């Protein structure tokens, strides 16, 4: 069961990464391209503050 949980977690991470990339592309290149409704829908999903990234302690 643990392998299934790990696989599910990895898949979720991949899906979120792809969604974030798509959102960034829509924001960057979507002006006048007819994707305003899509950008607005995605903005509600990805709104909020980003978490601060902690620097790696090397």
Q: Which of 29, 23, 31, 28 is nearest to 48 (CA)?
A: 23
> Which one has a higher pLDDT value, 23 or 47?
23
Q: Would you state the pLDDT for residue 55?
A: 65
**What is the pLDDT of the chain when averaged over all its residues?**
76
The CB density around residue 42, as the number of other CB atoms within 10 Å, is 19
Among residues 20, 22, 10, 28, which one has the least CA distance to residue 2? 10
What percentage of the chain has pLDDT greater than the value 70? 71
Give me the pLDDT at residue 48, please. 63
DSSP H helical ranges for 1-58 = 2-29, 36-45
With a threshold of 0.85, does the pTM exceed it? no
Confidence at residue 3, expressed as pLDDT on a 0 to 100 scale: 77
């Amino acid at each position: 069961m643990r392998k299934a949980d790990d696989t599910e977690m990895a898949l979720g991470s991949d899906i979120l990464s792809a969604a974030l990339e798509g959102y960034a592309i829509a924001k960057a290149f979507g002006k006048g391209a007819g994707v305003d409704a899509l950008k607005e829908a995605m903005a509600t999903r990805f709104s909020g503050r980003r978490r601060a990234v902690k620097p790696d302690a090397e």
